[in-house]
Amino acid sequence: MAERFESVDDVTRRLRTVDYLADSSISGVVFLADRLEKPVLVEGPAGVGKTELAKALSRYLDRALVRLQCYEGLDEAKALYEWNYRKQLLRIQAEERGAGWESVQEDIFSEDFLLARPLMTAIASEEPVVLLIDEIDKTDQEFEAMLLELLSDFQISIPELGRIDATTQPVVVLTSNNSRELTEALKRRCLYLWLDYPEVEHELAIVRLHTPELSETVARKLVELVQQVRGLDLKKPPSIAESIDWARALLLLGADDIDADVFRDTMSIIVKHRTDLDTVAERVGVKLSDVNAPL
């Protein structure tokens, strides 16, 4: 089991050992969340490292990652627990004739007949885990309300069984793409981390971490171009995930520079809307073919 984080810099240092490059705002929130034992709500655009932060924490802490992927219509039965109806039915059928309903009922609503879903698995686990509640903004407000009991008291109420308290306390990370405003009540229980597109040097470090074989000059040019593309008014600006993909593609193609031709042939890796492609070709591609223009 990994030791506790000693300071904000310590978080940065240790997450680096598991291949996650945190800037001071990420490390600051992670440090406080660890000390205050509060969940972290990470919000931000797609592909900026929200999910990866939870994965990196699980790697560093050497804890299992329990992941609840949220989607529209997700309910308690899929997130929390469900009665195992088939097993209950078999139990009732196996019961000798004449056995009292009272005793059967008591039996089939016991823990043996529960199917634990991610939230329950996370708090009932013998060993503490990292609980990732991914893309919480995809669910509705009722679901959020149900989460509140869990996040503030680490307990679950099951009508037939009563209260189930956490055996161990998980480190909790929630992520959101900001597709809807989350409730104040949920935000109040969490520490908030806004993850945005990184600065040039930080993104360069991330790209180089994932593709160390790519030369520094090409990597830097790539990051500068991506940042320029982000500056345009696009439907979907490229994320870190796309920068990494682009770097991998350039490596595969053996490109030792990103000139106008290479850019034109590979820009669909970072730009994925037809209208965006036109804008980017016109605004960035053309500039690349003009050798005298500054990048």
Chain residues that interact with ligand ATP, rule: CB under 6 A: 19-21, 46-52, 175, 177, 206, 209, 240-241, 244
Q: In angstroms, give the least distance from the CB of 50 to Mg ion.
A: 5
47 binds, among Mg ion, ligand ATP, none (CB under 5 to 8 A by kind): ligand ATP
Residue 117: count other Cβ atoms within 10 Å of its Cβ. 18
223 binds, among Mg ion, ligand ATP, none (CB under 5 to 8 A by kind): none
Q: Which CB sits closer to ligand ATP, 13 or 283?
A: 13
Tell me the CA end-to-end span of the chain in Å, nearest whole number. 48
Q: What residues have CB less than 8 Å from 291, skipping those under 6 apart?
A: none
Out of 13, 28, 34, 51, point to the residue binding Mg ion (CB under 5 A): 51
Q: In angstroms, give the least distance from the CB of 201 to ligand ATP.
A: 12
Which of helix, strand or coil describes residue 194?
A: strand
Structure token digits, residue 134:
């991914």
| Angle, helix 200-210 to helix 240-253, in steps of 10 degrees | 50
- In Å, what is the CA distance from 204 to each residue of 12, 19, 31, 149, 163? 17, 14, 24, 41, 49
Q: In angstroms, give the least distance from the CB of 1 to ligand ATP.
A: 23
Q: Which CB sits closer to ligand ATP, 80 or 244?
A: 244
270 binds, among Mg ion, ligand ATP, none (CB under 5 to 8 A by kind): none
206 binds, among Mg ion, ligand ATP, none (CB under 5 to 8 A by kind): ligand ATP
Q: In angstroms, give the least distance from the CB of 77 to ligand ATP.
A: 24
As separate numbers, helices (DSSP H) first and strands (DSSP E) second, the chain gives: 15, 9
- Decide the pairing of beta strands 162-165 and 114-116: unpaired
21 binds, among ligand ATP, Mg ion, none (CB under 5 to 8 A by kind): ligand ATP
Within the chain, what is the greatest distance between any pair of CA atoms?
94
Q: In angstroms, give the least distance from the CB of 132 to ligand ATP.
A: 10
| Binding residues vs Mg ion (CB under 5 A) | 51
